Amino acid sequence: MGIHGLGIGCIIIVSVIAYLFFSVKRKNTKMHRIYGAMILTALTHLLAEQGALYTLTHMETVPAWINRGVHQIFLLLFLVIFYEVYLYIIAMIEEEKKDRIKKGNWILLPFILSTIGVLVLPIYYKHEAAASYSYGPGVVVIYVSVCVLAITAVVYLMSFRDIITAKKKKAIIISLICEVGVGVYQFLNPTCLLSSVGIVLLCIGFYLTVESPDNVLIELLLDEKRKVEEAREEAVMANQAKGRFLAQMSHEIRTPINAILGMDEMILRESTEENILEYAEDISGAGQLLLSIVNEILDLSKIESGKMEIVETEYNLSKLIEDLTAMIALKAQSKNLVFNVDVEKTLPVNLYGDDLRIRQILTNLLSNAIKYTKEGKIELIITGEIREDKVYLCCRVTDTGIGIKEEYITSLFEEYRRIEEDSNHYVEGTGLGLNITMRLLGLMGSKLQVRSEYGKGSEFFFELQQEVRGAMTIAEWDKENEHVQAKRNWKGSFMAPKARFLVVDDNMLNRKVFVKLLQHTKIQIDEAESGFECIDKMKEHSYDIVFLDHMMPEMDGKETLHRLKEMKDYPSEKAVVVALSANAVVGAGKQYISEGFDDFLPKPIIYKDAEELILKFLPSNLVEYIQDAE
pLDDT at 154 over 50: yes
Same domain, 586 and 476: no
Same domain, 52 and 199: yes
Same domain, 72 and 199: yes
**Is 425 inside any structural domain?**
yes
Cβ-contact 56, 119 below 8 angstroms: no
**Is 305 inside any structural domain?**
no
Q: 151 phi and psi, to 5 degrees?
A: -65, -40
Q: Which residues contact 73 (CB under 8 A, 6 or more apart)?
A: 48, 51
What torsion do the CA atoms of 386, 387, 390, 393 make, to the nearest 10 degrees? -40
pLDDT of residue 542: 94
Helix (H/G/I), strand (E/B), else coil: 629 = coil
Any idea what the CATH number is for the domain that residue 551 is in?
Answer: 3.40.50.2300
**Is 47 inside any structural domain?**
yes
Question: Residue 141, Cβ neighbours under 10 Å: how many?
Answer: 21
pLDDT of residue 384: 93
Minimal CA–CA distance to 331: which of 280, 369, 290, 295? 369
Helix (H/G/I), strand (E/B), else coil: 306 = coil
pLDDT of residue 591: 82
**Is 88 inside any structural domain?**
yes
Compute the mean pLDDT over every residue in the chain, rounded to the nearest whole number: 80
Higher-confidence position of 127 and 581: 581
Any idea what the CATH number is for the domain that residue 82 is in?
Answer: 1.20.1070
Three-state secondary structure string covering 572-594: CCCCEEEEEECCCCCCHHHHHHH
Three-state secondary structure string covering 385-433: EEECCEEEEEEEEEECCCCCCHHHHCCCCCCCCCCCCCCCCCCCCCCCH
**Is 364 inside any structural domain?**
yes
**Is 250 inside any structural domain?**
no
pLDDT at 530 over 90: yes
Q: Which residues contact 261 (CB under 8 A, 6 or more apart)?
A: 284, 287, 288, 291, 604
pLDDT at 174 over 80: no
Higher-confidence position of 185 and 335: 335
Residue after which a domain boundary falls, among 484, 515, 535: 484
* C-alpha span between 210 and 167 (Å, rounded): 8
pLDDT at 261 over 70: yes
**Is 218 inside any structural domain?**
no
Same domain, 525 and 480: no
Q: Which residues contact 350 (CB under 8 A, 6 or more apart)?
A: 314, 315, 316, 317, 468, 469, 470, 472
Same domain, 450 and 512: no
**Is 216 inside any structural domain?**
no
pLDDT, mean of residues 541-568? 92
Same domain, 22 and 87: yes
Q: Percentage of the chain with pLDDT > 90?
A: 21
Helix (H/G/I), strand (E/B), else coil: 524 = strand
Instruction: Classify strands 377-387 and 338-343 as parallel, antiparallel or unpaired.
Output: parallel
Entry pTM: 0.48
Q: Which domain holds residue 467?
A: 312-484
Q: What secondary structure does DSSP assign to 66-120, as a single string?
A: HHHHHHHHHHHHHHHHHHHHHHHHHHHHHHHHTS-----GGGHHHHHHHHHHHHH
Whether the ω angle into residue 571 lies within 30 degrees of 0, i.e. cis, is no
* H/E segment holding residue 203: helix 195-208
Same domain, 86 and 185: yes
pLDDT of residue 111: 77
Same domain, 170 and 32: yes
Question: Could you give the angle at the alpha carbon of 100 between the alpha carbons of 99 and 105, nearest 5°?
Answer: 170
* C-alpha span between 617 and 496 (Å, rounded): 12
* C-alpha span between 322 and 319 (Å, rounded): 5
Same domain, 451 and 396: yes
Residue after which a domain boundary falls, among 484, 519, 553: 484
pLDDT, mean of residues 460-466? 93
94-120: pLDDT as tens digits: 877 777 777 667 777 877 888 888 888
pLDDT at 352 over 90: yes
Same domain, 504 and 472: no
Any idea what the CATH number is for the domain that residue 445 is in?
Answer: 3.30.565.10
* H/E segment holding residue 141: helix 137-159
Three-state secondary structure string covering 320-357: HHHHHHHHHHHHHHHCCCEEEEEECCCCECEEEECHHH
Q: What is the DSSP letter of 473?
A: B
Q: Which residues contact 359 (CB under 8 A, 6 or more apart)?
A: 320, 323, 324
* H/E segment holding residue 47: helix 30-57
Minimal CA–CA distance to 610: which of 523, 497, 507? 523
* C-alpha span between 550 and 559 (Å, rounded): 9
Q: What is the DSSP letter of 374?
A: S
pLDDT of residue 549: 92
Q: What is the DSSP letter of 24?
A: S
224-259: pLDDT as tens digits: 777 788 888 887 787 777 767 766 676 677 777 777
Residue after which a domain boundary falls, among 458, 484, 510: 484
pLDDT of residue 471: 85
* C-alpha span between 119 and 117 (Å, rounded): 5
Q: Structural domain tally of the chain?
A: 3
Cβ-contact 569, 539 below 8 angstroms: no
Same domain, 458 and 558: no
Same domain, 327 and 455: yes
Cβ-contact 412, 434 below 8 angstroms: yes
pLDDT bucket at 446, cuts 50 / 70 / 90: very high
Q: Which residues contact 529 (CB under 8 A, 6 or more apart)?
A: 504, 505, 506, 508, 511
